[in-house]
Amino acid sequence: MQEFLAVACRQAIQKRVTANVANTYLGPTAGWRVLSGAIRRSDGEDINAVLWFSDLRGSTAMSERMDPREYLAFLNAYFECTAAPVIEQGGEILNFIGDAVLAIFPIESEIGTRDAVRRATEAADAAMRLRAESCAARDAEGRKPEFGIALSVGKVMFGNIGVPQRLAFSAIGRNVNAIHRIDQVTKQLGEPVLATEEVAKHDPDGWISVGAQQLNDFENPVRLFARASAKDRSEPVAAEDAPVKLGVVRS
């Protein structure tokens, strides 16, 4: 009887350890799918989600100037600013692409779109607060992570890519390519957070249009929106100077 219990306990512990490892390295959704047997190349499905992409600024120059261990600590501080708020808001990190973060907030239904957008937006706001507060305080020399965040809503293919001997679970498709290029526009405009109209329309007072922007490798411009500051939201302004929510370009 004791041997039977010992074997049962060992199996339960191993199963829990395996699940924890899968969740840590792949995320809850991808980890569950892999453990359920979705391990063939091209296994996957289309899902609707709010997409998140953030990228560290000036990382190449910093990696040249900083000691490797110091740079690793700096990267982890940056990921705590970006990836941690995503997870806290129920999002899933799909990939750490060098110093970039690709994440999703899955949408279960049409009603769930607003909730997923809210959680992604709150994660973005939290990331910017952390950058300004705790991340800056960690570095004795005053260096703090500078990064951009792009948000979008759309369908992605979520599944296995690679070769039979080495697979990765990730999201691919047009919307993934687009959000990477939206992040590039954050650099051009000097706006730390940009979102598509599909995101902004769920909180009209929280976003200000920056106009239609041409994304690299995309034929048609995409209307993008920046986060409205507290001043934008609270101070009355003349009509001709008013920061516009959905539709008119910020001057």
pTM of the model: 0.76
pLDDT of residue 127: 94
CA atoms within 13 A on the CB side of 195: 30
- Give residue-wise pLDDT tens across range 175-231: 999 999 999 999 999 999 999 999 999 999 999 999 999 998 888 999 999 998 744
Q: Give the start-to-end residue ranges of the domains of the chain.
A: 1-37, 38-241
Contact (Cβ atoms closer than 8 angstroms) between residue 49 and residue 104: yes
Superfamily of domain 38-241, CATH level 4: Nucleotide cyclase, GGDEF domain (3.30.70.1230)
Spatial distance between the Cα atoms of 190 and 185, rounded to a whole number of angstroms:
8
pLDDT of residue 28: 55
pLDDT of residue 242: 38
pLDDT of residue 215: 92
pLDDT of residue 156: 86
pLDDT of residue 32: 45
Residues of the chain with pLDDT under 70: 1-44, 109-111, 134-144, 164-169, 230-251
pLDDT of residue 44: 64
pLDDT of residue 217: 84
SS3 helix, strand, coil % of the chain, rounded to 5? 50, 25, 25
pLDDT of residue 108: 80
Residues with Cβ within 8 Å of 219's Cβ and at least 6 positions away in sequence, in order, are: none
Nearest of 86, 70, 71, 186 to residue 127 by alpha carbon: 86
pLDDT of residue 14: 52
pLDDT of residue 85: 95
